[in-house]
Structure formats: structure tokens, C-alpha cells
Amino acid sequence: MILSSHDRRLLLGPLNKNNAILVQILGICSALAVTAKMEPALVMGISVTAVTALSSVILSLLRDAIPTRVRIIVQLVVVSALVIIIDQLLKAFAYDVSKQLSVFVGLIITNCIIMGRIEAFALANKPWPSLLDGIGNGLGYAFILLIVAFFRELLGSGTLFGLPVIPGACYRWGYANNGLMILPPMALILVGIVIWIHRARNKDLIEP
């Protein structure tokens, strides 16, 4: 293992105990709307990971040069420049997914996870730990997106990544896709259930 144990904790912590969505309740805004299918959820997860990691490094390098009073504007400029790059890349190489994500690519700018990690970590740490922290939090976000999208696509459309997985025989025997899973309310309820399971397994996270 190349990484020291401290580095590994930065990278892997957000996948479980420090998960941004489940524990800090950040980044819900643009997360839930893209989870009706696996494919957009995966693309969104990768995009957010890239933006979080790169913006953390850039702002960590700039941290001594930014006056505290104007830091929010500087952060927004850096993040939105990165998001513009991602948006152009998606339009060039994955046009269909980019259409499905519609405004939610632009909304990566206001994703609370990115601003949260910059404020809480990158502005006080060196570039290398900031990079690991950014990647870790991005992956933690992508992980939850994929869990929610897995259940919504499997139960709602009977497919995974667009490929049918439920055998045709089941449909002939009377199984039907649950259309409610595709609609927005089920995303909220599924996240609620994921939080429930996560907290039942980590008792110290239970709110008083």
C-alpha cells in the first residue's frame, strides 16, 4: 500500500462513517433527481468526483493567496470553470446522458459537498490530502447515488444500465414493474431508508 494510514482514512472515511450524503446531509440537491437510472447516476457521480477533487487541489494551492472576505466568490469561479469544462466534455462525448442530466450538470456548481469540502478541508490543508479528501467524498457521493439508482431502476424499469435483468417469465406470471419507483417521491423515501439502515449499523450517529 503506497498510502499511509492517515491518507487511507481520508480516502475511505467518506465511504462509510463520514459519508457526505448520509451523515452530513449535504449534496442532496442535485443528487436525487438523477437516480431514476444507473447510467446518469454513474456519470453524475464521476463528474462530481472530478470537480470535488480538482477544485480541492486548486483552492488548496491558492489558500494563502485568497483574502477571507472574497473567498466564496473565488471558490464559485473556480468551481464553475471546472463545471463548464465537464459540461463541454459531456456534450462532446456523451451527448445523450448530457441531455438526460439537463440542468443538473450546471447544478454541480451549487452542490453543497464541493463547497463544504473546500471550506472545511481544502482551505486549511496541503494539496495532496485535499486531493484524497476530494476523491473520497466524491466517491462516497457516487456510492449512494448508485445504491439508490440500483433499486429505482431494478424495481421501476426491471433493467440495470438499460439492460433487462428480470426474466420475461416473471412478467408472464404476473410480475409488474413498480412505476412509482421512477417518480421523484421514491428517491426521497429510499434515501430515508438508506439513512435508517446506516444509522442502525452505526449507533453513534443516531440523533438525540
Partner 1 sequence: MENLINIFIRATFIDNMIFAYFLGMCSYLAVSKTVKTSFGLGVAVAFVLVITVPINYLINTYLLSPGALAWLFDGGSTIDLGYLSFIVFIAVVAAVVQLLEMIVEKFAPALYNQLGIFLPLIAVNCAIMGASLFMQEREYAGVAEAFSFALGSGAGWLLAIVGIAAIRERVTYANIPAPLRGAGITFILTGLMAISFMSFLGISL
Identify which of 194, 147, 156, 193 has the alpha carbon closest to the alpha carbon of residue 177. Answer: 156
Position 50 contacts partner 1 (CB under 8 A) = no
Contact between 199 and partner 1 by CB under 8 A: the answer reads: yes
**Side-chain half-sphere CA neighbours of 149 within 13 A:** 24
**CA 165 remoteness from chain centre:** 25
Is residue 161 a contact residue for partner 1 (CB under 8 A)? Answer: no
Interface with partner 1 includes 200 (CB under 8 A)?
A: yes
Q: Which three cell numbers stand for residue 170?
A: 416473471
Stretch that binds partner 1, among 59-67, 141-149, 171-179, 185-193 (CB under 8 A): 185-193
At 160 the three-state DSSP class reads strand
Instruction: Return the C-alpha cell found at 49.
Output: 468526483
Q: Residue from 11, 26, 38, 131 that binds partner 1 (CB under 8 A)?
A: 26
103 is a contact residue toward partner 1 (CB under 8 A): yes
Give Cα separations from 38 to 56, 139, 153 (angstroms).
Answer: 27, 15, 7
Q: Is residue 144 at the binding interface for partner 1, with CB under 8 A as the rule?
A: no
Catalog residues that contact partner 1 under the rule CB under 8 A: 25-33, 72-73, 76-77, 80-81, 83-84, 87-88, 102-103, 106-107, 109-112, 115, 183-189, 191-193, 195-200, 203, 206-208
